[in-house]
Each structure stands twice: as C-alpha cells, then as structure tokens.
C-alpha cells in the first residue's frame, strides 16, 4: 500500500503560522537600529523637476537624510539583467534623472528613525516643476496607436485565417460592437514593502514582497553591481500579489539605495494610496465582429484591441489570442495595438489579456445568440473547437463539453427564459448568463533539491513563491507521496534567492513547473536510498530492480512482495550516511510541442436586478473547470472561489478613475475603489470536471489561478442582459448605466 497525498483535500501546511502571526512578511522583520523611508511622489503627470528643497524636512528631529536624483548616484554595473516578466522599452528606475513620467512617480525618499517622522517630514519637501501637457485619456490617444514590439514572454499574435471581412459581409447574422474596460488596480491585502539589511562586510539581505526572489535579486545586483552571493532576497510569505509582484517594484530599489547610503537597515513601506501609483490592469477598447449562418455556424470572427502603455515601456498582453482558439471558425483576424499615455506602466494582473479579451468575445457570443434566437450554450456547443486551430495541433486534453453539461445542470440552465425581463422573483428581474473560459497550461524550467536526514525528516526547496495559492502545501504533498513519508515529516522551503532556481510565480504555471522538479528531486533521493538498501548484507531487496520498488511509510518495498522491505533509516545507517540529497532540473517535454495545452471552464451566473434602483445582486454562480489532475481540491477550490469573487468586482464594481486634468487616479483608497465584500458574495459553486492529461506535464496538473477568473465578468454581464434587456458593454455595470 502506497502513501497517497496528491489529490487529497489537505489543509494549508502554512496555515497555523499565518493565523498565529508567526509568518513574517516583508515589512515585519524584527531588525535593530532600523531606519524608515517614506516616498515623496510627483504631483504632476509630465514635466521636469526644476528644484527640490528638503530644508524643512531635514530640520525635523530624527530625520537622517532625504534622497533625490540630485544626491543618489548609482554605480556602473558589470552585469546585465533581463526581467522575467518585463516588456520591451525602458525599465523605470527612480532618481535616474529629473524627468517626471507619471503622477505619483517617486521623486524623493525621506529617511528617519520612525515611520511617523519620515511621513511628516515628507510633507515638508518642496518641489518645483516645469510642467508639460500630459495625455491620460485612451480614447484621445487612439489615432496614435501602434503595433508594439512583442514581449518575449508571450506568443506572437495569431495570423489571419481566411478572409474575415468578406465572410462577415456575407453572413446571415452579424454582430459588430465595441467594448470598453477600465483600469483596475491589484490591491493585495499586504502593501508593498522592502527591508534592506546592511551587513558589516557590505553584503545585503533584502526582505521583499515579490512573486519572484530570483528576479528581484537579478534586478538589484544589476543596478547596484553585486554578485549573487553578495545580495540575498527573502520572501517566505506574500499577502497576495495577483501579478503586481512579478516585477521588482520601486520600493525595493529605494530600500537598497538608502541602506547602502546610510549603512544601516532600511524599511520602505508604501501606503494604500501610494499603491495606486504602481502597476494596474490597463484600459482596453475592443471591437468584436462575428458572422454566422442561420444555423449558428460561425464563419467570421474579428477581434481588435487597443490598450494603453506608458511613455517608456511597451507593455502588451495576450488580449486577442484566445479568440482564434476558443471556437471553430475558418475566417479569423485579430489585431492588438498600444497607445502611449503619461501613466506608469501597466502590469500583468490575474489573467492578463484574457480577462478583458474574453469579456468582449463572450459578450459578443451572447449578442450573436440573441440575434440568431439560439440558446447561448447551444451556440457554443455548435462551434466547439476540437483542435487548436492557431497551431493546427490536437489538444492534450479538453473536457469543455463536460464543463458545459455539468455546470448547466447544476445552475438549472434549462429553466432559463430566452426573453429578457421574463422572470421575476421578490420584485427583482432575474437573469441567467454564461460564458466560456480558456487559459494556457505551460511548463517552464525549474530546479529543486530534497534532503532526507536520518531522523526521517525531508526538506525540499525551490526558489518559487506562495502568494496564497497553496504552493507550500501542494509541494509538500508531492514530496510526501513521492517518498512515501507522512506529510508532517516534510518541510518545503521557498522564497529565498539562495535556493534552486525557479521562475516567478504567475501565469498559472507554478504547480506544473515546480511540482515536477520537486517530484524528480525526491525520486533521486529514493534512487540513492535504493542503492544504499542493496548494500545491506542479505538485503531483503536483493535482486529487485529500482522500477520494482515503491517508497511507502519510510520504507522501500517490493511492489510484488511488500513484505520485502528496507527502512530508510536502516539503509542510511548501514552505510553510515546521515543525509541523502537529490537535486533536479525539469522542463517541458518535446512531445508537448505537438499539442495545444490549455485549461477550460464554463461559468454560469444568476443575477437579480432591482428595476427601480438598478442595483444588481449575484445570488448564485457555478464554475465548472477542466483543469487536469487537481493536486489539492481544498486549495484549488479556494483559488477558483477567489476568481469568482474577483469576477463580481470586475463586472459590477472595480474601476480606477482618472481625473484627466491632473493625470492621476483619483479613487486611490479602498473606500473609493470598490471591491466585493461579504454582502456581495453569495452561493458560489465549483465543479472540477474529470480530465486526464498525460502530456501537459508529469503530474498531469493544470494551473487554476487564471482560469478561475476568465469568463466570469462576461457571464454576469450576459445575465444582466437576460434580466433587463439592456446590454452594457462598458465595465463596470453600475447603477447609472442600467437606469
């Protein structure tokens, strides 16, 4: 009998540390002689700093210094740096010059012996500008939109198939509409913070809120001319990231800059208001045109998107990539353009590109269903893609039809009335809507190590992250099952740049990337134990091959005869070995290139709309997902629940509003930037559809972070139409738009 943990609903192994406060975050290390930094942000969106007067700030007791572009020279670095999640263009570096590129750009750092003194002194820093005319309105910048240089991280924009415009004109039914989407800010619970600890020998230990310690280490070493062994980055716990931590944020640069200057430990923590001066999901303006025959067969699909970027970077997303993939259609063309605005650069935010792209596509599919008088679910089934049409390869697995069937049955789709305003309950208009979801399932390169000691304790490590998804837990499960150990004897270490290399945690690829490396490292330990076991005189495993042995309950056992076994401890003691270590690096198998590897979902939403007030409630949602092998149903369900809640926010609440006169996001607090609260969240149901995939990675697992969100906003918007007969194409759907 083998020890089984993979696939079991297991509580978080780091849960107790978090609820008891033992988990320490980037702004919480207990460091003596600590200096606090407070950022001064630019009050204009574009221009040049002509003067900075810190005289009053420096006169405040406890203030040590004020750093600006005038007194913060950087060393010339010997090493280059490639941001794992970066975009073509110029990486923003604070204090590089006197140019102001966006409102709230950090232009000074006040350093004092307490946070309160630093904050007060920051209010006394006087700045003069030569202000220039700025542009922060995407609509006004459309005429200058351009084809961007593409990110290495993303696949190229799919080329055209057939002649979409001609097929559209010849179609019996057509929709050709524009959809708008606002900027959204990430707003993780933990604010961005960094603590840089200066050591006497000149080395640095940096505690940072990040989704990639190796990425931050590379950035800091390149900027400050360190070798890897001179600068260590730690991030064992992260209070949410949602993509905002994929790239180094400016506070970590400032903390290191100040620690080097003062030769003391420095902490820089951003306020919630300052977090709105960081990255965000960009604005999007999209056109989707669909043409179909009278029986609902798609014969034309056009998807064009324009999004904003900054003046210094060409940030782009896979917004239109999903449209040529999701439905069978012979005539498809897509395009993506950027428009530069005087804002900070956008950044990857949960399901980047797909969040906006699938809102537009799935809303247009609903509009086409109305035009054809065909059930929206039936329309999708008739156009189900059996192969990856973009690359002309089969899918490694695709159980989307089962998602449709199971989700529809659970939500009661058969009771849906196609006519808007046909159903009422307790005085409210009731509507049902649905949407499809898709996200890629890649496997990247990663390394891991595993060390088994004589007392039976196993320590596995990799420089990945856990941003709340359950990485600690699922990696411990994989290791425990692979070596047949109790879960409480396994420790997984992450968030340390000195550990084996792993990519940033994002894109729904961590389980599929780090998991196989952990499994491979543990198998190497098992193989070494097997070699030691065979050295025992008259070994019970003599004559047994490695393939015929299974690890179980701290023993190596013959599969054919479990009574023939050697304990790990006996194998190690016989050879006088105190520990056994295995390291492994894994990556994608070449056979994966012959398949499209994706996860899919079907999202169903019920809404109740107060006809007089325009208020919208979402009393029920069902998400059915085909996500390969689910490693931990408990943490997996939590990820999808989070995506459903976020989808409510996308559809009904979240919007970063710019005052174009000042070029600044104005609702920069959680009192004004609305996110769902308990009263907004009701019955959410998650269904994991059985899906076996032997190609996608050795574990057969697909990521869940993104697929839990995509399609949700469209399902809610489609339900609102079914309830009211009003099609809202600009998110969020607020009272004024309905009334």
Name the residue among 726, 710, 650 with its Cα closest to residue 439: 710
Angle at 285 (CA atoms; ends 282, 289), nearest 5 degrees: 140
Do you know the residue count of the chain?
739
3-state SS class at 699: coil
Angle at 349 (CA atoms; ends 344, 355), nearest 5 degrees: 120
3-state SS class at 84: coil
Name the residue among 342, 326, 324 with its Cα closest to residue 334: 324
**DSSP readout, 567-607?**
EHHHHHHHTT-SEEEEEEEE---GGGGGSB-EEEEEEEEEE
d(CA 654, CA 646): 9
The 3-state secondary structure of 465-493, one letter per residue: CCCCCCHHHHHHHHHHHHHCCCHHHEEEE
220-248 CB burial, b ≥16 within 10 A, e <16: bbbbbebeeeebbbbbbbbbebbbbbbbb
3-state SS class at 522: helix
**DSSP readout, 302-359?**
EEEEEEEE-SSB-----SSTTHHHHB--S-EEEEEEEEE-SS------SSTTHHHHHH
Distance of CA 605 to CAs 210, 424, 686, 703, 718, Å?
A: 34, 16, 12, 23, 9
Find out whether the peptide bond into 389 is cis, omega within 30 degrees of 0.
no
Distance of CA 291 to CAs 175, 301, 329, Å?
A: 7, 7, 10
Asked if 266 and 258 touch (Cβ cutoff 8 Å), the reply is yes
Q: What are phi and psi of 284, to 5 degrees?
A: -145, 135
606 a catalytic residue:
no
d(CA 291, CA 168): 5
3-state SS class at 164: helix
**DSSP readout, 194-214?**
EEEEE-TTS-EEEEE--S-HH
User: SS3 helix, strand, coil % of the chain, rounded to 5?
Assistant: 30, 25, 45
| Residue 715 token pair | 């399902």
Distance of CA 311 to CAs 97, 130, 133, 182, Å?
A: 15, 18, 13, 19
Residues 221, 227, 230, 231: is their CA dihedral positive or negative?
positive
Catalytic residue among 317, 367, 505, 706: 706
Asked if 361 and 367 touch (Cβ cutoff 8 Å), the reply is no
d(CA 724, CA 732): 16
Beta bridge partners of 587: none
Q: What are phi and psi of 541, to 5 degrees?
A: -105, 15
3-state SS class at 180: strand
d(CA 642, CA 705): 9
The 3-state secondary structure of 525-570, one letter per residue: HHHHHHHHHHHCCCCCCCCCCHHHEEEECCEEEECCCCCCEEEHHH
d(CA 543, CA 475): 33
Distance of CA 705 to CAs 299, 425, 471, 517, Å?
A: 32, 34, 12, 20
Enzyme catalytic residues: 706
């Amino acid at each position: 009998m083998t020890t089984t943990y993979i696939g079991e609903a297991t509580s978080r192994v780091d849960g107790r540390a978090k609820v008891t406060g033992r988990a320490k975050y980037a702004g919480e290390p207990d460091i003596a002689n600590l200096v606090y930094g407070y950022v001064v942000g630019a009050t204009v969106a574009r221009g040049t700093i002509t003067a900075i007067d810190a005289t009053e700030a420096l006169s405040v007791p406890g203030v040590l210094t004020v750093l600006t572009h005038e007194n913060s020279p950087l060393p010339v670095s010997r090493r280059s740096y490639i941001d794992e999640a970066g975009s073509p263009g110029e990486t923003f570096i604070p204090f590089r010059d006197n140019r102001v590129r966006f409102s709230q750009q950090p232009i000074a750092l006040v350093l004092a012996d307490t946070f309160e003194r630093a904050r007060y002194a920051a209010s006394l820093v006087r700045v003069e500008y030569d202000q220039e005319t700025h542009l922060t309105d995407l609509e006004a910048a459309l005429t200058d939109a351009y084809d961007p240089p593409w990110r290495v991280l993303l696949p190229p924009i799919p080329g055209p198939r057939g002649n979409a415009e001609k097929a559209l004109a010849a179609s019996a039914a057509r929709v050709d509409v524009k959809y708008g989407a606002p900027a959204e800010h990430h707003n993780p619970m933990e604010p961005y913070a960094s603590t840089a600890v200066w050591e006497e020998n000149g080395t640095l230990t940096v505690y940072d809120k990040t989704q990639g310690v190796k990425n931050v280490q590379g950035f800091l070493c390149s900027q400050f001319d360190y070798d890897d062994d001179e600068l260590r980055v730690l991030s064992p716990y992260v209070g949410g990231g949602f993509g905002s931590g994929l790239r180094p944020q400016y506070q970590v640069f400032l903390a290191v800059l100040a620690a080097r200057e003062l030769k003391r430990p420095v902490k820089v923590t951003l306020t919630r208001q300052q977090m709105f001066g960081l990255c965000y999901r960009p604005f999007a303006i999209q056109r989707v045109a669909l043409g179909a025959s009278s029986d609902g067969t798609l014969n034309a699909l056009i998807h064009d998107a324009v999004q904003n970027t900054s003046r210094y970077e060409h940030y782009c997303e896979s917004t239109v990539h999903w449209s040529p993939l999701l439905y069978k259609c012979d005539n498809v063309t897509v395009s993506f353009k950027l428009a530069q605005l005087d804002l900070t650069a956008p950044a990857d935010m949960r399901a980047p590109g797909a969040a906006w792209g699938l809102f537009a596509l799935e809303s247009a599919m609903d509009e086409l269903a109305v035009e054809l008088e065909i059930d929206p679910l039936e329309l999708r089934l008739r156009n189900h893609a059996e192969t990856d049409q973009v690359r002309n390869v089969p899918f490694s697995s695709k159980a989307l039809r089962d998602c449709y069937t199971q989700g529809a049955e659970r939500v009661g789709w058969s009771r849906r009335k196609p006519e808007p305003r046909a159903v009422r309950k307790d005085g409210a208009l009731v509507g049902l809507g649905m949407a499809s979801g898709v996200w890629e399932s890649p496997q990247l390169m990663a390394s891991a190590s595993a060390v088994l000691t004589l007392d039976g304790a196993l320590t596995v490590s990799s420089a990945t992250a856990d941003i709340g998804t359950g990485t600690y837990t699922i990696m411990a499960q994989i290791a425990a099952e692979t070596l047949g150990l109790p879960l409480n004897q396994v420790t997984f270490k992450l968030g340390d740049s000195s550990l084996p290399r792993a990519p940033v945690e994002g894109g729904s690829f961590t389980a599929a990337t780090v998991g196989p490396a952990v499994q491979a490292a543990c198998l190497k330990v098992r193989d070494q134990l097997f070699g030691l076991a065979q050295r025992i005189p008259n070994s019970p495993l003599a004559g047994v091959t490695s393939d015929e042995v299974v690890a179980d309950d701290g023993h190596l056992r013959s599969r054919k005869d479990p009574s023939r076994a050697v304990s790990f401890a006996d194998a190690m003691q016989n050879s006088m070995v105190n520990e056994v270590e295995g390291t492994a690096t894994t990556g994608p198998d070449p056979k994966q290139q012959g398949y499209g590897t994706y996860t899919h979902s079907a999202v169903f939403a019920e809404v109740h709309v107060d006809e007089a007030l325009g208020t919208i409630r979402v009393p029920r949602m069902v998400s059915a997902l085909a996500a390969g092998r689910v490693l931990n149903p408990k943490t997996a369900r939590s990820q999808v629940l989070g995506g459903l809640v976020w989808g409510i926010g996308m559809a009904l609440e979240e919007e970063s509003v710019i005052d174009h006169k000042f070029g600044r996001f104005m609702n920069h607090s959680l009192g004004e930037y609305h996110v769902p609260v308990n009263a907004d969240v009701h019955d959410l149901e998650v269904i994991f559809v059985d899906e076996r995939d032997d190609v996608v990675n050795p574990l057969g697992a697909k990521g869940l972070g993104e697929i839990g969100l995509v399609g949700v906003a469209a399902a809610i918007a489609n339900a609102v139409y079914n309830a009211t007969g009003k099609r809202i194409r600009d998110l969020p759907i607020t009272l004024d738009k309905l009334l």
